[in-house]
Chains A and B, each alone.
Chain A
């Protein structure tokens, strides 16, 4: 099914354009990296705050409300640029296991970040909240997940496609 999809994608005007405009892919990749700065940076600053390592005078809810909105926008732009990068080389990313691992890690990282926000909201509402240790453990897990996303992303360029894939 993926073979059919990539064969179809190869012939679309979008892919033809991306493959022929020499500046397009580097530009899209640069935008992808700048958005990683917003997403990974935002997540890092939130988690460093939770771990008591950064901007500790700032109340935790403030840190979330400051960094989560740009992080969300960043994730959307990463998805769009990501789709364009796949379109530019239809036979590459989607045939590599590490790409799908990366997608799973992105979902896990977003769930962890969303979970952290819910804990803070619960704490604010006076509901029973997790222990300080639980907050910190989830912060470490969250950082680990986002770091893993970056490693998986880079590794797409270094592995081969699975048996039966076009390249």
Chain B
């Protein structure tokens, strides 16, 4: 079974047809997707600003992470769920859209950056002054997530 067969099979499911044909499912999922991604970006922004030494300089990074990363994870789960609903509207079309593929690649990069951060920067997290590695990680994170938002919006223009 090729990828195209899998995608065509998904597109034929009742769930996919429902999303494609309904007046309200896609707009609702989209609105919830916006809410989820703004919470992802907002909570990541808190930690990244700290890493860059631009805000909360008196608080250890670890402290902010403990408070705000649960929001990030929960919101990301919501974004993935609502994103899957959006995907169901046109699985074949999205899967072949270079912008959608690029967006998924960016999300993978975000994961890599996160792992790298926890491995390389973790020992210094109790500090109140960020290291160069922490600043780079924060900057990369910001760039990636702005890219994810930009690509996500751009997809809407290519349909």
The A-B contact count (CB < 8 A) is 74
- Complex CA–CA separation, A104 to B154 (angstroms): 28
The answer to whether B34 touches A55, judged by C-beta atoms less than 8 angstroms apart, is no
- The verdict on A123 contacting chain B, using a C-beta distance below 8 Å, is no
Interface size on B, residues (CB 8 A): 26
Interface size on A, residues (CB 8 A): 27
Given A40-B42, A41-B43: A147 and B35 interface contact (C-beta under 8 Å): yes
Chain A 8-43 against B: per-residue CB contact (8 Å), 1 yes, 0 no?
A: 000000000000000001110110011011101110
Query: What is the CB-to-nearest-CB distance from B11 to chain A, in angstroms, rounded to a whole number?
Result: 22
- Complex CA–CA separation, A87 to B38 (angstroms): 25
- Complex CA–CA separation, A97 to B146 (angstroms): 31
Q: Which residue of A lies closest to B66 (CB)?
A: A55
- The verdict on B134 contacting chain A, using a C-beta distance below 8 Å, is no
What is the predominant secondary structure among interface residues of chain B facing chain A? helix
The answer to whether B34 touches A150, judged by C-beta atoms less than 8 angstroms apart, is yes
A interface with B by C-beta (< 8 Å): 25-27, 29-30, 33-34, 36-38, 40-42, 44-45, 48, 54-55, 66, 147, 150-151, 153-155, 157-158
B interface with A by C-beta (< 8 Å): 23, 27-28, 30-31, 34-35, 37-39, 41-43, 45-46, 55-56, 67-68, 71, 146, 149-150, 153-154, 157
Given contacts A44-B39, A150-B38, 17 further A-B contacts (CB under 8 A): A26-B150, A30-B146, A30-B150, A30-B153, A33-B38, A33-B149, A34-B146, A37-B41, A40-B38, A41-B41, A42-B42, A45-B71, A66-B56, A150-B34, A154-B31, A157-B27, A158-B23
